[in-house]
A = this chain, B = another copy of it.
Amino acid sequence: MDKATYIFDLALSVRDYELDLQGIVNNAVYLNYLEHARHEFIKSKGLDFNRLHHEGYDAVVVRSEIDYKKSLKSGDEFVVRTGVERDSRLKIVFNQQIVRPADDSIILEARIFAACIHQNKPVEPLIILEKIGLL
């Protein structure tokens, strides 16, 4: 995947309660990081998933593909990089990467496929696409 597709960076650091028994960040926690970055990205575009929810539109993840390459440890600072493209008529895909600048390493790469639901039916994610500039 072309690096140029990441258009939003969010810098975070590991919190000790996110570590598991092995002293590394638990896999499920990375999904939280990725979700948080997507929400911040969307907010940076003037949208808000919570507000959309109250207006009857829910963006839902329908598929995730994650390649875990290295682990984050206590105190690590990292950056979640996010890009987005249209995947099909009803789906968009967020390309995400978590990198650790300290040793210039890639922690994981993810492809998160999302659909837009309105009144229990999938609808074209037009409002998202428009704001993101994909329409």
Residues 12-30 of A, flagged 1 when their CB comes within 8 A of B and 0 if not, give: 0001110111110011110
A contact face: mostly helix, strand, loop, or mixed? mixed
- Determine how many copies of this chain the complex contains: 4
Does A130 interact with chain B (Cβ within 8 Å)?
no
Contact B19 A20 (CB under 8 A): yes
Task: Give the residues from 7 to 54 in chain A that come closer than 8 angstroms, CB to CB, to chain B.
Answer: 15-17, 19-23, 26-29, 31-32, 35-36, 39, 43, 48-50, 53
Q: List 6 A-B residue pairs with CB atoms under 8 Å apart, sorted by A's residue number.
A: A16-B49, A19-B50, A20-B20, A21-B50, A63-B67, A65-B65
- A residues touching B (Cβ–Cβ < 8 Å)? 15-17, 19-23, 26-29, 31-32, 35-36, 39, 43, 48-50, 53, 58, 60-69, 71, 74-75
